[in-house]
Structures are given as C-alpha cells and as structure tokens.
Amino acid sequence: MRNVVAVVLGGGQGSRLRPLTEFRSKPAVPLAGKYRLIDIPLSNCINSGLNRVYVLTQFLSVSLHRHIRRTYQFDNFSGGFIDTLAAQQTMTEGTDWFQGTADAVRKNMRYLTQPGIEHVLILSGDQLYRMDFAKMLQTHKDSGADVTIAAKPVHDHEAQGLGVMKVDGTGQVTGFVEKPQTPEEIDQVRMDSGWIEQQGIQSHGRDCLASMGIYLFNRDTLIQALEETDHTDFGKEVFPTAIGKRKVQLHPFDGYWEDIGTIRSFYEANLQLCHKDPPFDLTSALAPIYTRARFLPPTRVDGASISNSLIADGCVIEPGAKIENSVIGLRCRIGRDVVIRNSILMGADLYETPERLADNNANNLPPIGIGDGAVIDNAIIDKNCRIGRGAHLVNHKNIDEGEADKHCAIRDGILVAYKDASFEEGWRA
C-alpha cells in the first residue's frame, strides 16, 4: 500500500441527517457512544496498511478537523499522515465551493500529482463497514484494471436505492444503472447467481451487484478523467463514463455495509450494535475502530437495570434507572428511576462544575443529563441536552415528520432532540 493515497469525501451538507448535522458535518456525527462516522473509513485505512490519507471537507467542518487533529498522529518515521483539505479560494482552481465529489478531488489534484503515488482510493466519510483495502488493491492489480469498484450483492428491492452493475465472466464491469425502479431496468443488470457464488459468496437469492461508492483508480486514469471532463460526481458521472472507455473491474464484498444517509438508517445502525451478535463487531481484535483517546473515569452504575445496550466512558447511572436496547454516550448523567428504551443518547462534551450547577439551580435550569423519573423512548438525544425531572421525550402522537417543539423534531417517526436543548420538568412532546 506504499504507493496508494486515500481520499475521504467528507464535505457534503448531510441534509437528510438534520438536525444532527445542524452544527456539524455528517462525518463528525457521533456513532456508537464514543466514535464518530469519520473513524470508520480512517480505521479501515490504518488496518489495511494505508497511512496516507486526505480528508476533503467543506460544510461545518470545525469539529471534524478538531477530531482528526487530536486523534490521528503518526510517528516521524512512517511517512504517514491524515490531512484535512478544506474548500478554499485559489488563484488556479477558482473561488467556487466544491460542486460535488469529483469536483472536490479535481480542485485538490495538486496533492495527488506528487511523486510516489500510483493509485488513489476514493472513500465516503459516512458509511459503516469493515474492509481490507489491500485485498481490493490485489484485485485491481491482478486484473490489470484502470478502475476498480467495490460491490455488494443485494436483492431486487434493495437495488432500487443503489447503483447496480453488470459484469462479464472475468469481473469486468460492462453495464451500470443508477437506482433502477422498474423490472426492465433491473433485468438489464441482473447477474447469474452462479457467478456470485464463484467469488466465494453465498448468493441467497441476491442477483444484483450494488456499488458501495468505494473506487480505486490508477492515478493517471483519475487525472485524465477529471481533466478531460467537467463531471462533478463520481457515482453518477465519472464512474459510468469510465465503463465505456476504461477497464473497470469489480471487487466483490459480502460483509456488513450500511450507508448512514438518513435519520432512520443512523438510528437503526446504532441500535443494531447493541445486539448480542451485532452485524458489525466493535470488538474485533484484528481490525479495531480507532477514535480520540479521552481521559475519562469508568462509568459508575448503581442499582440500575441495563440490557442490550452500549455504555460509553464517564457516565453516572443512578439507582432504579432502566435502560433497554440503547446507546449511552460519553459523560451521560442518568438520574433515579429513569426509563430509556430504543434510544441513542450522545452524551456531553463536559462535566458541569459545582458553580455552574448552582447557577443552573438558581435559574431553574436542569443540569446537563437526564433528570429523575424521565422517560426517553424511540429517540435520539444530541449532545449537552438538559432533560428535567419527569420529562417524557416520546413521540406520543405517532407523528412521522414535523417539528415537535423548538427544542426537538420528529424525523422518520423518531424524536430528535437538538444539541444543547433544554426540556423543563414534566415536559411532554
């Protein structure tokens, strides 16, 4: 992997993840109590022996930059780096913001034309998966490809929201349909399940090969593709165009993979991690997920009932609390007789000082955390929220979409509390 550079695309607005992306970029959204989404692709790179990475950023990138700077540092002898490249005005690339994924790479091409780079790996900053990119590079070299794309077998109904490919007997991509909606469109790219099983993958009725948005380019191929066109998007323009002009190879993958693009997908992916046998194992000894080292005390639990849940560092959980199928983030303070079900609590950025707590009390403001007797069900509670005693953060009216209050919203039927929101004693949606 010495001649490979990875480019992680982290600059999108993340509008479908609002309000979680109201004050942070999508890759900076907390995951599984103590991580951030950006930790997934960066950990995959490190575990694959790839230690030269550029992260392209644009929207609300301060917290993302801070997290990367504090987390990923290599020694002076490895030659490794993880650098953030923010959208900027230049004399040569112009003054416009990034117009899309391909445009973002085009405007940072100078970093890819340096000596010693033969291949460029393009990754997304908002997917949950574990992959050895060294195996993908081997597929790329063995096939003599100009471009290699990672693909996962899916069923017909799953294919409708993804880009689907057709390959020949050697694995070379010969056709592509973006989000096929009709049986006729799906039939254009439907594969013989026998070919899928020849790759060592059990098809289980899956006969479509969906793009994972992970591309490995020969550097010169990538430069030509971006310099000869004004394409702005890899998935919709650069990749489909390359199929007819270049040798595009498919790299099959059959592990867990989830695109964290909506509130519903974020919510379900997090809660799946709480299962006894989760589809994505955070405890892997061979390929750990890295994140920032925080010097926090162990979580203290006193007489609480906890099942099928993840509890991060630095929490205090008081007697009588009942936590089921939930993710509890850093520094959470959970009062007596609190009930938390099927929910994600992102925790807090700090502990409040005694002086601050006294000020809160004088101003009738709940402390950061969950007050005694509160109930949280089917909800996402962003960081630093203050939830008063007996408050119920529950979508009682079964609203699918809407603004429940100035402090929270309903998205996909899930109540989402805004960052730094405050809910008074006895609050109801």
Structure tokens at 12: 């999108």
Q: Which residue has the higher pLDDT, 37 or 185?
A: 37
Mean pLDDT within 164-170:
89
Residue 317 has pLDDT above 90, yes or no: yes
Q: What is the pLDDT of residues 364-421, one digit of tens each?
A: 899 999 999 999 999 999 999 999 999 999 998 888 888 767 889 999 999 999 999 9
Nearest to 381, CA basis, from 352, 338, 320: 338
CATH class of 4-272: alpha beta
Neighbours of 294 (CB within 10 A): 12
Token readout for 326 is: 């939930």
Residue-averaged pLDDT of the chain: 89
> What is the structure's pLDDT at 411?
92
Q: What is the pLDDT of residue 89?
A: 52
Q: What 3-state DSSP class applies to 276?
A: coil
Q: Please write the tens of the pLDDT for every residue from 247-262.
A: 999 999 999 999 888 9
CA atoms of 39 and 291, how far apart (whole Å): 6
What is the side-by-side order of every strand in the sheet holding 339-341?
Answer: 305-307, 322-324, 339-341, 375-377, 392-393
The yes-or-no verdict on residue 279 having pLDDT over 90 is yes
CA gap 89, 209 in Å, rounded: 39
Global pTM? 0.90
The domain limits of the chain are 4-272, 300-423
What does the pLDDT read at residue 404?
Answer: 67
Cα separation, 338 vs 304, in Å, equals 9
Pairing state between β 257-259 and 127-129: antiparallel
Residue 87 contacts by C-beta under 8 Å, 6 or more apart in sequence? 11, 56, 57, 58, 97, 98, 104, 107
User: Residue 105: in which H helix or E strand, if any?
Assistant: helix 101-106
SS3 at position 46: helix
> Does residue 124 have a pLDDT over 80?
yes
Determine the pLDDT at residue 22: 84
Whether the predicted pLDDT of 93 surpasses 70: no
Q: Which residue, chain included where needed, has tokens 């689907």?
A: 164
What local confidence, expressed as pLDDT, does residue 12 receive? 63
- What is the phi-psi region of residue 109: left when phi exceeds 0, alpha when psi lies from -120 to 50, beta otherwise? alpha
149-163 pLDDT, tens per residue? 999 999 888 888 888
**Confidence grade of residue 324 (pLDDT, cut at 50, 70, 90):** very high
Q: 300-423: CATH homologous superfamily?
A: Hexapeptide repeat proteins (2.160.10.10)
Predicted pLDDT at 389: 95
Q: End-to-end alpha-carbon separation of the chain, Å?
A: 52
Q: What would the mean pLDDT of 276-300 be, rounded to a whole number?
A: 93
